[in-house]
Structure 1
Amino acid sequence: MGRPIDARGWIFEVRDEEASTETWLRIGNLTSWNRNESENEESADTTTNDSEGYYSQDIMQRGATIEVEGLYAQVTTGTADPGQSYIDNEWTYRLGADSQGRIRWRHQSQAVWVLWGATVTPGEQSGGTNDKTSWGATFTRCGKPTTAPVTGGGGA
């Protein structure tokens, strides 16, 4: 039996589509995440009289989302966290075919990235008198996922 892995060991990065070379930006200061592999799933009812009263279906569409939440982050130089900043200031404002970008994710113990083409929906930001400012985003997978080996430190 394998050992459980820590939830804090997951790494999420977005690809900077504006960069002239392949550049991945880690999303920093995350406090929680949720991957839902059944989001946007569609099925067709295939139940007939021959099913003898038992339900039957075929999956016609697979979907998935990843929701990340954290604290709005600034690095020590006073500039925003690169991943959060790219999502907030670049990706969020793209429309139509340009609205799709790339996200990759893996656990720090894994040697393979999972890559998605995706759209992003910014999360709410909030806070109270004695709180830190919250930050979040939801990525909706577009198309079939792929994988790639971790190379050169994997951006971790």
Structure 2
Amino acid sequence: MGRPIDARGWIFEVRDEVATTETWLRIGNLNSWSRNESESEESADTTTFDSVGYYEQDIMQRGATIEVEGLYSQVTTGTPDTGQAYIDNEWAFRLGADSRGRVRWRHITQKVWILWDATVTPGEQSGGHNDKTSWGAKFTRCGKPGTAPVTGGTTT
């Protein structure tokens, strides 16, 4: 039986669609995440008299979301976290067909990325008197997920 893995070991990145070469930006300062593989799922009722009183269905549409939350990040030079900044200042303002982008994630122990075409919805930012400012985003998968091997000589 396998050992449980740490939730803090997950890496989330967004693809910079403005860059001229393939560039992935890590989303930093996260402290929680959740994935919902049944979001936007649709089913068709296939129950008939032949079902003898038992419900039947076919799944007609699969959907999924990932929500990430953390702390709004600026490094000491005043430059924001590159992943957060890309989502907040570039991706979040796109509409229509341009609203789609790419997100990928994996655990540090894995050698394969999970890839999604997705849309992004910025999360709320908030804070109180003795708090740090919160930050978050919700990615909604568009289409079938894919995978890609981890390259670059390191898995972290």
State if a TM-score over 0.5 links the two structures.
Answer: yes
Letter in 1 for 2:121: T
Evaluate the alpha carbon distance shift between residue 145 and residue 154 of structure 1 in structure 2; reply closer, same or farther with a 3 A threshold.
Answer: farther
Aligned equivalent of 2:13: 13
Matches within 5 A, 1:1-156: 1-153=1-153, 156=156
CA distances 1:42-64 after superposition (whole Å, capped 9, x unpaired): 00000000000000000000000
Letter in 1 for 2:90: E
CA deviations 1:33-89 (Å, max 9, x no partner) are: 000000000000000000000000000000000000000001222100000000000
**Local SS of the residue matching 1:128:** coil
State the aligned residue count: 156
Distance 1:15 1:28 in 2: 14
Q: 1:120, 1:138 within 8 Å by CA — same for their partners in 2?
A: yes
SS in 1 for 2:106: strand
Task: State the distance in 2 between where 1:72 and 1:58 align.
Answer: 42
Q: Which runs of 5+ in 2 are unaligned?
A: none
Deviation string 1:4-42 (CA, Å, 9 cap, x unpaired) is: 000000000000000000000000000100000000000
State, as a whole percentage, how many aligned pairs show the same letter. Answer: 83
Paired AA for residue 81 in structure 2: D
Structure-2 separation of matches of 1:54 and 1:16: 49
| Residues 120, 137 of structure 1: 8 Å contact kept | yes
TM-score computed with the length of structure 2 as normaliser: 0.98
**TM-score normalized by the length of structure 1:** 0.98
Cα distance, 1:98 vs. partner? 0.1
Give, as a single letter, the amino acid of the residue that structure 2 aligns with 1:36: N
